[in-house]
Amino acid sequence: MSELFSRDEIEDRLAELQSRIGSALAPYEASSAARDLLELLRAVEELINLGTVDWDDDVFEEQLHGFPVFQSGQHLLQLAHVRKRLATRFDSALVARLSLLILQGSDIGVAFARHGALEAASGFRSVATMMGYLQSRRRHLVGLLHFVPIACRGSQLLKQHEAFNVFLPIVEFSAAPMMGAQYALMVKLAQERLGIPEDPAAEVAMLDGIYLEPERASILEMHKSTDGLHLLEAKESLRPDRLFSAAELRNDILHTEALYAEFDLCGTEFAVAAALVRRLSKDFIDDDYWIRISPAELATLTAEVGASPALIAALTCEATTYMECLSTYAPFVLVGDRYLSTVSLLSRFIYSWRAYVLERKKRFQIRAGFIFEGSVKAALEKQGFVVQNIVRINRQEFDVVALRDDVIWNVQCKNNFIGLSRVDSDAVAFARYNRSLVMSYERALVKERNREHLLKMKLASAAVQHMVVSRFPVVTNNPRIVVFNRIAHFAARVDAVLAAERPAIND
């Protein structure tokens, strides 16, 4: 898209899609639409997380994940069997929500197919593919939630269980394409600012394989330390018949505090946010899932825990465009005269606040750099590289050094980062930051070439190649710069680098 269309054309497309989303939402009454969308999000989150349940029964798991959603009307007996088995583990309301969502998935999958949206329709082939599809669209549904109070200006009420058929087409035909157009604009401006040719195949790899945003050191990369083990002794028991609960939210906070204990997370402003969320999950909880609180009560509560202006501002979304709403982690939406949230939205918020707090700690940045190097090493080893135990040569430090087919691969690991919420709705800011990083990485490659003799002497090999792996999803035409979200393709990239050099060598 960035090659075929000018900047003006892409910006016109963005404006058109923004208007389309607003027009689609305009007829609905804001408070009821927000409540309906929150109910839908609950079912969506539950279906996605159903995949984490261990049934200790391979046959049933295959029946569940393989259930043909697209043709569920022809397999009602099989659905009844699945529902009966779900009922042995979960409460009846949860089973009813899951069953209804599967049936609605069948209807909307057929509708997508009839309208030629075959890729979207394929997301409803089975429960497993539906989980993956909804995971890819969850962020958009949350973005719509924050846009609803702005865009919904009418009096029309959604009929019971109609939310899926109203909101998902908006996501599929307007919201997701709008994000695609925004990313195309980001690529185009980034290429222009770098002065490189436009490439229709270029991408901005914002999200990883499971649609999570990149970060310096995710909770999945952290290991339990002696400092944090005692914190986990306070974990609460969970109801086995729920996929989400207030107790699980509090356990998530505890788990975060334990895994990041080495950075004294409990001694930072994270502790204030954690205290706030814990109070919300105990004093304002409904059905072990909903948070309902008036603006006055929220103001009192934030004052009691000593919340900073930044923390208070982060609780609600003041954005006015859909792309800005897509970038927020705010847990609350104003519905009538009360703020509504859920344990899953609060979990998302507190995790993002962890990143905000840690980002300002130099020790975390340094430690995260070593964790990042470890992740790169592990990824290279999976692809057949033999990582060398080299940290310094003649007092000069190296990040990751690996061998493959008698070639030394010297890999610089750049854990530079800025929260995507600061740039993914601002293509100009992204292009500016992207250029700064790419120029820095290219200078690093020159530096490494100037000292490659150290590696040649250490490993007794004349063939040395240099690469950079970037945590931040940069746009560049330099094949030696690899985005970490695409690290699984590192071997293919280095093969391409070698292939491109052979003609020059032969000449």
Would you kindly state where each structural domain of the chain is located, as residue ranges? 7-194, 219-358, 365-506
Q: Write a three-state SS string for 431-448.
A: HHHHHHHHHHHHHHHHHH
Please state at what angle helix 30-50 crosses helix 92-114, rounded to 10 degrees: 100
Q: Which residue type sits at 38? A: L
pLDDT at 1: 46
Dist. CA 292–CA 283, nearest whole Å = 10
**Is pLDDT of 134 > 70?**
yes
Question: Quick one: CATH architecture of 365-506?
Answer: 3-Layer(aba) Sandwich (3.40)
**Is pLDDT of 391 > 60?**
yes
Q: How confident is the model at residue 156 (pLDDT cuts 50, 70, 90)?
A: very high
Share of the chain above pLDDT 70, in %: 96
Per the model's pLDDT, the better-predicted residue between 56 and 419 turns out to be 56
Q: What is the chain's mean pLDDT, rounded?
A: 93
**34-76, pLDDT tens digit by residue?**
999 999 999 999 999 999 999 999 999 999 999 999 988 889 9
CB 222 within 8 A of CB 203: no
**Is pLDDT of 17 > 90?**
yes
Dist. CA 90–CA 244, nearest whole Å = 11
Share of the chain above pLDDT 90, in %: 81
Q: How confident is the model at residue 507 (pLDDT cuts 50, 70, 90)?
A: low
User: If we measure between CA atoms, which residue out of 331, 328, 294, 492 comes closest to residue 424?
Assistant: 328
Do β-strands 396-397 and 338-342 pair in parallel, antiparallel, or remain unpaired? unpaired
**Is pLDDT of 219 > 50?**
yes
Any idea what DSSP says for residue 197? Answer: -
pLDDT at 420: 67
pLDDT at 506: 52
| Neighbour tally for 313: CB within 10 Å | 12
The stretch 374-379 carries a mean pLDDT of 96
pTM of the model: 0.91
**221-262, pLDDT tens digit by residue?**
787 777 778 888 889 999 999 999 999 999 999 999 999 988
Q: In b/e form, how buried is each residue of 262-280, taking b as 16+ CB within 10 angstroms?
A: ebebeebbbbbbbbbbbeb
User: If we measure between CA atoms, which residue out of 415, 414, 393 comes closest to residue 464?
Assistant: 393
